[in-house]
Chains A and B, each alone.
Chain A
Amino acid sequence: MAATVSISESNTVSQTITASITNSNMGNTDAVNLDPVVYPVTPGNRTYAKYQRFNVTNMGGSSAIQNLKVWRTSALGGAATHVTNARLSAYAGAASFSTPVTTAITGADQAMPTSVPATANLGIGGSLSGSLTTTGYSDYLIHQIISDAGDVAGSTSTMNYQYDEVA
C-alpha cells in the first residue's frame, strides 16, 4: 500500500493547521482552499503567502519518505512572478511558520520551478537529503505570487508535488 501523504496548510496567527487541503489557490486573504474570485489580488500587490507541508499520516509499509519536489505548471499571467523558499542548493534549513502576510518573506525569494526539479527542492528536518521514517511533516514550503500593476485576470497556474517512497 502506498504511504498516505497529503498536503497540509497553516494559516492565521494561531497557526491553524488544515490537513489534506484540496487546492493551493492564492489570493487576498489568509485562508485555506480560498476562492480567488472572492479574494482577488489587486494588480501590483502580493498574494498572502502559503505555508504548506507534506504530511505523512501512514507509512503504508514503507521505510522512508524523501526527495521532496515542488513545481508549478502553466504560465503566470502578465509579468507576475511566483516566489518560494524551495531551492535545489544553498537550502536555508527548515523555515519557521509566521503569520502569512502580503509582504516579502525572507528566504522566499526563489523562482518557483516550472518543471519537475532534478533533485529535491524542499527539505525534511532542515535538509534536502532528509527523510521521514515515521509519520510527520516536511519543512514548510512557503510560496507567494507577486502580481504586476499591468496584470489582468485570466491565467491559471497549478502546483505539483512529488516524493520518493522507499519500501
Chain B
Amino acid sequence: MEYKFLRNGVEETVKPELWRWEAYFNDNTVLKQFGDDGIFHQVGEIDQSKLAVFKMVSNELPQIYAVPFDGSTMRLIHKYIQTKLNFGTPEFREVRSYVFGYKTKNLPENHQHLLIIAPNNEAIVCGDENIIDFE
C-alpha cells in the first residue's frame, strides 16, 4: 500500500516503513505516521504541547515501544540513520536504524534520552546514537 503526502501542494506517494510512529494526545486523539485514511504524516505535524505518548509500532513485528511524553519539559526526537556499509563489495548492505526519544528542555543540547531500533530490530537505550557500531 502507498500513502499520500502533500509537499507544498504537490501530491507524493510514500511507501510504509517497517517501524512507524503513532502519537497519542491528551485529548484522546491519535495521529499516525501512516494514517488509517491512507495519508502520510511528518513528525513535524505532531503538536508536542498535547502529546501524551509517542509509540513506535510495526505491522510485521509484535513489539511496541512507547515513550510517555510531557510537552512542557520534553522535545521530541525522531529520525532514521541510513548507512551504506562496505560500499562496492560483495558484503555491501544498506541498513536503517530508527531513532526516537526526547531532549529535556532547559538542559544542555546533548542531554537526551533515546531508543534506537537497530537494523536487527533490537532496541537499544542510550543517550547518544553515535555509540552504535554498524559493523
- Total interface residues on A, CB under 8 Å, equals 31
Mark interface residues in A127-150 (1 if CB within 8 Å of B CB, else 0): 000000000000000000000000
**Stretch from A37-45, A77-85, A100-108, A157-165 at the B interface:** A157-165
B80 touches A164 (CB 8 A): yes
- Interface majority SS (helix, strand, loop, mixed), chain A: loop
Given contacts A2-B96, A59-B7, A61-B42, contact A73 B81 (CB under 8 A): no
Of B23-31, B47-55, B63-71, B84-92, which binds chain A?
B84-92
A1→B14 contact, CB < 8 A: yes
Residues of B near A22 (CB, < 8 A) are 88
Q: Which residues of A contact B134 (CB under 8 A)?
A: 116, 160, 162
Q: Are B79 and A164 in contact (CB under 8 A)?
A: yes
Classify chain B's interface size.
20 to 34
Residues of chain B within 8 A (CB-CB) of A62 are 42, 80
Contact count A vs B, C-beta below 8 Å = 86
Whether the Cβ atoms of A7 and B80 lie closer than 8 Å is no
Given contacts A24-B87, A25-B88, A160-B86, 20 further A-B contacts (CB under 8 A): A1-B16, A2-B17, A7-B84, A21-B88, A59-B7, A61-B14, A63-B42, A116-B134, A158-B86, A158-B89, A158-B91, A160-B87, A160-B134, A162-B83, A164-B79, A164-B81, A165-B79, A165-B80, A167-B43, A167-B78
Interface residues, chain B, with chain A CB atoms under 8 Å away = 3, 5, 7, 12, 14-17, 33, 40, 42-44, 78-89, 91, 96, 130, 132-135
